[in-house]
Structure 1
Amino acid sequence: MRRISIDTLGMKGAKDGAAFYPKRRRTPWYLSRPRLLTTLLCFLVLYTWLNFGGHAIVIPRDSWDYVRDGSVTDIMNATLGFQKLLVLNLPFRTDRRDAMTLSAATTNMQLEFVDGVTGDSIKQSAYPPPQENIKLLPGIRGSWRTHMNALQRVVEQNLTTALIFEDDVDWDVRIRQNLQRFALASRFLSTNKEILSSSPRYKIENVENVETEETTFRMLSDNHTMAHLPSLPLASLYRKSHHPQHHSSSPYGDPSQWDVLWFGHCGAGFPRYSPLHKKTDVTTANVILTNPNDETVPAPRHLKAHPFQSILDPLAEAYPPHTRIYHRSTGGELCTVAYAVSQRGAQRLLHQFGVKGWNGIFDSELGRWCAGEDPDMGASASPSSKKKISDGRERICLASQPPIFAHHHPMDGESDIGGLGGGYATKFETKYLRYSVRMNLERIVMGRREKELVDQWPDEGGHAAR
């Protein structure tokens, strides 16, 4: 009898009955290599968090409220988030030193004074080129040297950052709230390298530029004013998906990425086209960050730097009332009432104006430098020295309009520098600052509460006292 085998498991081929071994089903790689999968997931989570994660930073609408985020808490310290606060003061102006000391004490600020010098005390051999600068007024020469002494101290002591004041400076009692908001703007403006107009993340609004030939700074060699001002709300940058990550020891951003934070001035131009980019590009070099409904900003009719100024600042017409803006200082700036420098910036400025060359009022020269131009070296100047810097040596100076610090004008007060025009102030006031410390100094010293302080620039129909 023939034995018949029955292949119940299907182990033989259909044609020849040869033995057939089934293929082993392959396990997916992500199940066979759990460690690799875990590593990849960790990197994905880390990348997502660094670029898109983090918590949102809320900018309060009330100007008296602080930004509640750990990255700006250092602004609450006695040096406003900088390593030192330096005050330029001629030793014989004890009146100004007294006022500065008292104002700082009421605001919990720790100052260090830098003795000013007079122009007549500087030896001729100590001036950098050109020779024409020796003919400038003694007050202008003394002011220049005093600023150089402050920059020299920053470099010598290897300070990462320092805020430099002139001794007639004033500030709003909400100074730390203002600086917190500036810090959020400066981080973005100093470190972001994107072409903002090419990214759908940024909702840019083009605002008509109202600057005219009369209001632009003609100290700059050529005119690169923009027909429209690309503008972006500051608050939109700190929503969760747009959060600019902050990894610096300074609340104002990485000090290796900026030179000057020009907090206090008596006039700033809107940013201009950058020679490093196409005119159609919107970058941090020409964008304006806006903080609307900022009650530290006076009404438009009060926006002018001097009592003798005949026209209002362009800011008064370009943006809605009570809007503060932040931008690069590429449109020129005047008056060094208050400015911060990084170690990088201090070295660059000391080299330029202390060693290489200087030939004018220091604030005007600094404004030209921030706009990308070198000082006018007079008859010895080469044609290339008046061209804008375009070889990658970008100078990062940032400004706020209106200024956060401003000149205080005491009755019959006059500048020790001279040559600024306007002569004596005829009114006891501080432009741009609503709840000025100097204007409220007696009330503050006498222990008056915030509600009893005086708003020197109230809205129409508003009350002077808070």
Structure 2
Amino acid sequence: MLGVFPSQKSFDKVPAMALRRKGQDRIKLLTVITLIFVVLYLYGIPSLPPTRPESRRKPGWQDRSTPRGAASNSTLGFQKILALSKGPSWRSRGLLAAAGHSSVNVEIPRQPHITSEMIDAFRHIGVKGESQMPHGSAHAWLAHLDLIKYGVSSGLDTFMIVEDDVDWDVSVKGQMALISDNVRKFLEVTKSDSSPYGRSWDVLWLGHCGEHTDVDTPRVEFADSTVPLAANYTGWADKYLKLLKPGNRAIQRAINPVCSFGYALTAHGAQRVLDWAGKGGSEAYDIKLMLGCKLNQLDCITVTPEIMHHYTPSKALGYHSLVQAENGKGASVAEETYETTMGATENIRQSARCRVLFDSTCVKKQRDYF
């Protein structure tokens, strides 16, 4: 018996149903494949950092996985750079402009209010038989301690403190790579410790206004093309710079550094500074810090000559520092005057502030604040 042929409608339906099933199968397959890729992306395949061919690396490029490479990162090898500042001003705006130009990340935490009563009480701590420190100096001292406490409470392993009028060279990252090499050499840091500067110090003093060194001072010298010539170095320490080979910087134990423009602390060093400087004194915070180094109450390393100094507007414009003004030694003029007229920075050959704000260099020729 011959079979019954399906109707024409049946022939029409079969391909359509098959196509529909095939399309649904494709959607399911694509969905599964997509899910597999998502899972692998999120959990399965560790991402590798892109490598840059040698020929395409920018001048000054550093491998961040090495100590010297980490020293030239956006926080100069520390976990954070914290700026001491009373609030927005030409100082802080210039600092942030210089930081941006140098690809350096600076945080300006809000400082807690310090009452006059607290300042006066602090002036009387530990000064039996000594003259009291001026009001402005005591205020600045307490502000430094507050910022150190902020670093400690943030759980930072290392951090750097800069004052908000600080300035540095446009090549600061290259300078820090060299400093990393030579701090590690000076401290005999082992290869097993990959930190940029080792950890066997309390204070690393990078920004100051002079340091003592002598012929027999243990130190490591190294060539640095950004070092000011001895004949052009400004300040009381110029005679000591002549003991270094021309074009050299040095790493040594701190002997007599003054001015706290920029200094780094380890976590244990921060606690020791709080203990030492929290006892008060008769002069200023930087002198107390220097005495801690000198008397071996603190383990301090200095870089000489300094790589950071404070930028100052011209005294001809009526400039006085915040500490001077609070000590009753004059008052500064309107902010706008300092914003539009270039000042100067001692011992920094290529000022980051002056480069970004005035497209110029501004090496100060003569010290006028002592």
The code of the aligned residue for 1:436 comes to S
2:164 maps to what in 1? Answer: 167
Task: Pick the aligned partner of 1:442 from 351, 357, 360.
Answer: 357
> Which structure is higher in helix share?
2
2:262 & 2:161 partners in 1: Cα distance? 6
Taking only aligned residues, the RMSD between alpha carbons, in angstroms, comes to 3.3
The code of the aligned residue for 1:83 comes to Q
1:272 & 1:316 partners in 2: Cα distance? 11
Residues 108-144 of structure 1 deviation map (CA, whole Å, 9 limit, x = unaligned): 2222214455672626556673256894211101110
1:416 aligns with 2:341: no
User: Offset at 1:360?
Assistant: 2.1
Unaligned runs of 5+ in 1: 1-63, 193-243, 274-285, 373-388, 445-452, 459-466
1:120 & 1:98 partners in 2: Cα distance? 27
User: Offset at 1:433?
Assistant: 0.8
1:74 aligns with 2:74: no
The code of the aligned residue for 2:167 comes to D
1:324 aligns with 2:269: no
Q: Is the 8 A contact 1:189 1:328 kept in 2?
A: no
1:364 aligns with 2:287: yes
1:347 aligns with 2:276: no
Alpha-carbon spacing, 1:321–1:272, altered in 2? closer, same or farther (3 Å): closer
1:422 & 1:299 partners in 2: Cα distance? 34
Alpha-carbon spacing, 1:80–1:316, altered in 2? closer, same or farther (3 Å): closer
1:399 aligns with 2:302: yes
SS at match of 2:351: coil
Unaligned runs of 5+ in 2: 1-58, 333-337, 366-370
2:81 maps to what in 1? Answer: 85
User: Offset at 1:270?
Assistant: 1.4
The code of the aligned residue for 1:84 comes to K
1:97 & 1:121 partners in 2: Cα distance? 27
1:298 aligns with 2:298: no
2:62 & 2:75 partners in 1: Cα distance? 18
SS at match of 2:144: helix
SS at match of 2:322: coil
Q: Is the 8 A contact 1:155 1:343 kept in 2?
A: yes
Residues 232-264 of structure 1 deviation map (CA, whole Å, 9 limit, x = unaligned): xxxxxxxxxxxx5333352111x2x11000000
1:159 & 1:128 partners in 2: Cα distance? 31
The code of the aligned residue for 2:229 comes to A
Count of paired positions: 292
The code of the aligned residue for 1:144 comes to W
Residues 168-213 of structure 1 deviation map (CA, whole Å, 9 limit, x = unaligned): 10000100110111112222333x3xxxxxxxxxxxxxxxxxxxxx
1:396 & 1:163 partners in 2: Cα distance? 16
Alpha-carbon spacing, 1:422–1:338, altered in 2? closer, same or farther (3 Å): farther
Alpha-carbon spacing, 1:360–1:126, altered in 2? closer, same or farther (3 Å): closer
User: Offset at 1:82?
Assistant: 0.7
1:186 maps to what in 2? Answer: 183
2:293 & 2:100 partners in 1: Cα distance? 32
1:315 aligns with 2:240: yes
Q: Is the 8 A contact 1:162 1:340 kept in 2?
A: yes
2:142 & 2:119 partners in 1: Cα distance? 11
User: Offset at 1:158?
Assistant: 2.0
Q: Is the 8 A contact 1:264 1:338 kept in 2?
A: yes
The code of the aligned residue for 1:78 comes to S
Mapping 1:29-428, distance limit 5 Å: 65=60, 70-91=66-87, 94-116=89-111, 120=116, 122=118, 124-125=120-121, 129-130=125-126, 135-190=132-187, 192=188, 245-253=190-198, 255=199, 257-270=200-213, 286-292=217-223, 294-305=224-235, 313-329=238-254, 331-354=255-278, 356-372=279-295, 389=296, 395-412=298-315, 413-418=319-324, 428=343
Query: TM-score normalized by structure 2?
Result: 0.70
Alpha-carbon spacing, 1:124–1:431, altered in 2? closer, same or farther (3 Å): closer
Alpha-carbon spacing, 1:436–1:123, altered in 2? closer, same or farther (3 Å): closer
User: Offset at 1:70?
Assistant: 2.0
The code of the aligned residue for 2:76 comes to L
Alpha-carbon spacing, 1:138–1:127, altered in 2? closer, same or farther (3 Å): closer
User: Offset at 1:314?
Assistant: 2.0
User: Offset at 1:271?
Assistant: 6.4
Q: Is the 8 A contact 2:132 2:283 kept in 1?
A: no
Question: Could you tell me the percent identity over the aligned residues?
Answer: 26
Alpha-carbon spacing, 1:111–1:317, altered in 2? closer, same or farther (3 Å): closer
